[in-house]
Structure formats: C-alpha cells, structure tokens
Amino acid sequence: MLQDALDVMLSDLVLPQNEHHLEGTTDRVIKAWEELFSGIHTDAKSVLNTAFEENHYDQMICVADIDFVSICAHHLLPFFGKVHFGYLPNKKVVGLSKIPRLVEVLSHRPQIQEQLTQQIANIFQEAMQPLGCGVMIEAAHTCVSIRGARKAGSKMITTALTGLFLDKPAVKEEFLLTLKGIR
C-alpha cells in the first residue's frame, strides 16, 4: 500500500518516467523511512538497562557532542545536530554508551526539537532516578534551510532540566558552563 502511494506521489510530481535513477526509488524511500522512524517501536527506557552502584561519586557527569538526526513532524524533513547531556548520580551511574543509545532511539521518531529535548530528560530521570539531569540540543533544521526562510546557517538551541538542575541555580550554571567549555 505504501509503495503504491509513493508511486502515485512520484508520478504526480511529474518526474521523468524514463529516468533510470528513479528505478527502485520507492523501495529505497520505504527503507529510509523504516530506518528514520525505527525508534517509534522501541521502548526508550529499555536502552538504559546497564547501571552500576556507585556510592562514592557524587559529581556531575556530562556526555557532549552526541550526533543525531531526526525528522520534523511538521514537514517530514530532517533536523540534525548534537545533544549535550549531564546528570548528577544518585548512588548509581549508567553505562556510558546508554546515553547515546537513548538519544538514538528517541531521535528516530517524527517530532519537534523541543519534544525530543524534553523526552531525553524525562525518560532518563524516570528510569535512572538521578538527583537531576540536563539536556541541551543544538540543531539545524532543513525545513528552515532549504525551504521557507532559507537560512542555512541558523541553529535552534533547546534545553530541558530536571531535579537539582532545575531547582538549584548553581547546578544549572555548572552544567551550562561545562557545555560552554566544550563548545
């Protein structure tokens, strides 16, 4: 059914019927969409399955420059950039690869950047119960760069904070200053 709809769409766009590069395009588009939307059917909390008891480390842990690509729910065009993440452990630390995996699962869903930012913070907070966490996303949106405003150099920056990152100005400042040092 999806293949038929894509064939009609390509035909309606009046693309050259004899263009050999269009052969198999519908199959390639379907495979691309399956990959780009693969996070829809994955429980994001399940990737946070490795945590270690750690009673002696109570300082901020940050993971910066996590590359991601997502799809804008408004235009079905990509937005991409970097996620910067920090948390204050509460007697346990998460396996380092788990944070990028969380970003990967959540970014492979159609959404807006604000939603992605908040989901990363909320799901980590709920699953790991840290003293707090912070997320900052810097992203370029192709819906702004290749259409509409056509401002290719623009970036959107969003943040989401939980726990002490939200309630204690000094913790929030430490997180933002740490990111400033990295960027």
Report, as an integer, the average pLDDT of 38-67: 94
Report, as an integer, the average pLDDT of 149-177: 95
Which positions ≥6 away from 141 have C-beta within 8 Å?
72, 77, 79, 113, 154, 156
* Shared-domain flag, residues 100 and 134: yes
Which positions ≥6 away from 114 have C-beta within 8 Å?
158
Q: Is 71 helix (H, G, I), strand (E, B) or coil?
A: strand
Whole-number pLDDT of residue 180 = 85
Whole-number pLDDT of residue 74 = 94
* Shared-domain flag, residues 63 and 85: yes
* Shared-domain flag, residues 97 and 125: yes
Least confident residue range of 16-20, 98-102, 108-112:
16-20
Q: Is 179 helix (H, G, I), strand (E, B) or coil?
A: helix
> Residue 167's domain is classified under what CATH number?
3.30.1130.10
pLDDT band of residue 25 (cuts 50, 70, 90) is confident
Please tell me the distance from the alpha carbon of residue 157 to that of residue 116, in angstroms, as a whole number: 12
Query: Contact, 89 vs 54, CB < 8 A?
Result: yes
Please tell me the distance from the alpha carbon of residue 10 to that of residue 118, in angstroms, as a whole number: 36
* Shared-domain flag, residues 31 and 48: no
* Shared-domain flag, residues 24 and 50: no
* Shared-domain flag, residues 49 and 18: no
Report, as an integer, the average pLDDT of 105-128: 98
* Shared-domain flag, residues 64 and 84: yes
What DSSP line would sit under 117-174, residue for residue?
HHHHHHHHHHHH--SEEEEEEEEEEHHHHSSTT--TT--EEEEEE-HHHHH-HHHHHH
* Shared-domain flag, residues 144 and 114: yes
Q: What is the largest CA-CA distance in the chain?
A: 67
Selected residue with higher pLDDT from 20 and 76:
76
Is the pLDDT confidence value at 181 over 90?
no
* Shared-domain flag, residues 74 and 156: yes
* Shared-domain flag, residues 29 and 67: no
Q: How many Cα neighbours within 13 Å face the side chain of 19?
A: 10
* Shared-domain flag, residues 126 and 144: yes
Whole-number pLDDT of residue 183 = 65
Report, as an integer, the average pLDDT of 147-172: 94
Host domain of residue 77: 43-182
Task: Give the C-alpha distances (Å, rounded to integers) separating 34 from 108, 137, 178, 181.
Answer: 9, 24, 36, 37
Whole-number pLDDT of residue 141 = 95
Report, as an integer, the average pLDDT of 73-94: 96
**Euclidean distance between the first and the last CA atom of the chain, given in angstroms as a whole number:** 46
Is the pLDDT confidence value at 63 over 80?
yes
Is the pLDDT confidence value at 97 over 90?
yes
Report, as an integer, the average pLDDT of 93-116: 97
| Structural domains of the chain, count | 2
Is the pLDDT confidence value at 135 over 70?
yes
* Shared-domain flag, residues 12 and 100: no
Is the pLDDT confidence value at 14 over 70?
no
Arithmetic mean of pLDDT over the chain: 92
Is the pLDDT confidence value at 44 over 90?
yes
Please tell me the distance from the alpha carbon of residue 67 to that of residue 69, in angstroms, as a whole number: 7
